Amino acid sequence: MKNKIKSFMRSILWSYSPASEREAADSTARNFLLHWFPAKIATRSISFSYSMVLGTIILALFTILTVTGLVLMFLYVPSVGHAYWSIKDLEFVIPYGWFIRDLHRVAAQLMVATVFIHLMRVFLTGAYKQSTTVVGSYRPLNWWIGLALLLVTMMLSYTGYLLPWDQLALWAITIGDHIALSAPLVGPAISKILIGGTIIDQNTLIRWYVAHVFFLPLIIFMLILWHMWRIRKDGGLAAVEALGTERIQQDKVVAKGKTYSLMGIVQGITPTITQYRVRGESVNASPYVTRRILVIFVFVTAITMALAFYIKAPLEQPANLMWTPNPAKAPWYFLWLQELVADTTIRIKGFTISGGFVGGIIIPTVLLLFAAAWPLLDKSTDAAIGVWFHKSRRLQNTAFLAVVAVIVILIYVGAVMRGPYWHLYMPWQAWIKMPTRF
Amino acid sequence: MPDNIQEQKDTEQQISRRRFLSYLGGGLVVGGLLLQGFAALRSLFPKVLYEPPKKFKVGMPSDFPEGVRFLPEHRLFIIRNDDRFHAISAICTHLGCTVNLAQYSPPKDYTSASGKEVSETFEFHCPCHGSKYRENGNVYAGPAPLPLPWFKLYLAPDGQIVADTNTTVNHDFRLKV
């Protein structure tokens, strides 16, 4: 009886207990959810010190965002007259509304940060590099998909930031719209498509809302799937590239059975199976990878929930075009751009180029183009693929870290050292008092 | 292909039926997609804007005190100098924030670009990125690329001042009442 209960509980809670290595490997092919994974995975590939599991953390955060976002869609009204008050209701009336909103915001901010750290990890390990010897993989493609994912993540953050329709939202759109307007020739057309008129109003809100809840999530979801599929196509994480592959040949007796693969139809022969397997130690993806993913999901959810209790999502006064908050600041991950647009107006003998165009469009575009071209420009050895701080890439790693440092410093300056009227204040200096309401 | 079926071949004067039909089909697909794409894109550029008008009455001349008055709902400054009026936009030319009015008493003295000693009673300061404008809207600090535009003012038949934010004017413009 005791055994019966035990096996019943086991069948509900955890039915998976393969009798052999072979059975474990087979289960990944048979199970719909498991077939994303390879049957076997190199231990080097799942080492924490190599990848720091950043991709899985991002996926966990994205899942939290999708679930909380769906709940928020029932509670938020995308109209100029109601948007602000539906957020007020979320904060003060709807049971646990504040918690769902804070969870969504904390997860979003963590996602932006983790996506950027992930990009740093991939650069510093040279994981975007195409090997000159291995055929059938093309790692630069996944780097480009990753850059697109970074952009879409930023766009999702930006569009989400606008929906509360408070002062923060309104002035963020105003600045974004004027950055678009500062582009020569196409500026006015882009601005018109972004805000749907000449002033920021209902047309703008509904456009950003649809982008935030439908178009951008759809795009990011497809890009995420492509990103993961490419890892499989490239033969796993770049860390395994150094291990090399070995060729295994074995004869396989095909048993008669119901299957839709070619093996099931061909009978009476013993085909020879040739495999190329990564050298070195490897483990079954199920349960070694699946278990780890579950643990990461639990950890990320727990940390996000804990942070959501302490970090409150701000809600400023209702959107008011008549009065700009002083200082008006973008969220932290855009502050380096705000610092740039404030500093980069170029004046040469009466001829002026707006900082909005230089700092808001040219510099980010150049950075992005550089990042995109880098896999093609990087001529370091194959030995540098999938290795942290390889000595042949010392110069480019230093240059990359310098760019990152500049961005971090600009964010710090924008966040801490800019007071009313965007004056520069040292951290120990007091800001002049400014009225906080109109 | 069996011998008794002869495929029509393209010649110099005419193309085969098969090729014609495949061009027709392909063309319809491409044409349909282009048309739908164009319709979807065009629909996002509104034909009618339900926005406040760009020409509006701001009040009787006697409503305005000597000096500068901010009209927040229009993001506009009306400046009165005895019987003469002019209007300066309150929208920063850098990235569109509403500039704040900084008033000075006693007046602030400065040397203009042409070396003249000038004194002014007010300035415009942008809270977003720190652009600063003189009394006449010219930039003297910060990232703003252009001076604040001046807008045309005229009198309506009922005696009210009308501001026309579609029409910019030179710095010598004054509405004399």
Looking at this predicted complex, what is its ipTM?
0.81
Q: Do A322 and B128 touch (CB under 8 A)?
A: no
Domains of chain A and any CATH numbers? 48-422 (1.20.810.10)
Q: How far is A163 from chain B (nearest CA, A)?
A: 19
Q: Is the pLDDT of residue A402 over 90?
A: yes
Residue-level pLDDT at A388: 92
Q: Is A323 an interface residue toward B (CB < 8 Å)?
A: yes
Residue of A nearest to B126 (CA): A421
Q: Which residues of A touch B130 (CB under 8 A)?
A: 342, 421-423
* Cis? peptide before A287, omega within 30° of 0: yes
Which residues does residue B101 pair with via DSSP β-bridges, in sequence order? B124
Residue of A nearest to B98 (CA): A324
The rounded distance, in Å, linking the Cα atoms of A289 and A302 is: 20
Q: What is the pLDDT of residues A369-394, one digit of tens each?
A: 999 999 999 988 888 898 899 999 99
Q: Which residues of B touch A431 (CB under 8 A)?
A: none
Q: How far is B46 from chain A (nearest CA, A)?
A: 7
Q: Do B145 and A353 touch (CB under 8 A)?
A: yes
Segment A208-232 mean pLDDT: 95
Segment B153-171 mean pLDDT: 91
Q: Is the pLDDT of residue B148 over 70?
A: yes
Q: How far is B109 from chain A (nearest CA, A)?
A: 21
Residue-level pLDDT at B140: 87
Q: Do B98 and A325 touch (CB under 8 A)?
A: no
Q: Which residues of B touch A321 (CB under 8 A)?
A: 75, 98
Q: What is the pLDDT of residues B128-142, one digit of tens each?
A: 888 899 888 888 888
Q: What is the pLDDT of residues A123-172, one digit of tens each?
A: 999 999 988 777 778 999 999 999 999 999 999 999 998 899 999 889 88
Residue-level pLDDT at A32: 76
- Cα angle A221, A226, A230 (rounded to 5 degrees) comes to 150
Distances (CA, A) of A234 to A135, A141, A145, A241, A277: 9, 10, 13, 10, 13
Q: Do A422 and B144 touch (CB under 8 A)?
A: no
Q: Which residues of B touch A193 (CB under 8 A)?
A: 44-45
pTM assigned to the model: 0.87
Residue-level pLDDT at A405: 96
Q: Do A324 and B98 touch (CB under 8 A)?
A: yes
Backbone angles phi, psi at B33, to 5 degrees: -65, -40
Q: How far is B50 from chain A (nearest CA, A)?
A: 9
Residue-level pLDDT at A125: 94
DSSP-derived 3-state class of residue A251: strand
Cβ atoms of residues A156 and A217 within 8 Å: yes
Q: Is the pLDDT of residue B177 over 90?
A: no
Q: Do A352 and B142 touch (CB under 8 A)?
A: no
CB-nearest partner of A199 from B51, B95, B130: B51
Residue of B nearest to A181 (CA): B95
Q: Is the pLDDT of residue B6 over 70?
A: no
Q: What is the pLDDT of residues B49-88, one digit of tens each?
A: 888 888 999 999 988 888 899 988 889 999 998 889 999 9
Q: How far is A178 from chain B (nearest CA, A)?
A: 5
Lowest mean pLDDT across A259-263, A374-378, B123-127:
A259-263
Mutate which: B54, B125, B128, B146, vs A, most A CBs within 10 A: B128
Q: Is A425 an interface residue toward B (CB < 8 Å)?
A: no
Name, of A79-88, A170-179, A320-329, B109-118, the range with top average pLDDT: A79-88
Q: How far is B132 from chain A (nearest CA, A)?
A: 9
The closest of A100, A202, A210, A112 to A157, measured between CA atoms, is A112
Residue of A nearest to B132 (CA): A421
DSSP state of A40: E
Cβ atoms of residues A48 and A292 within 8 Å: no
**E strand or H helix at A46:** none
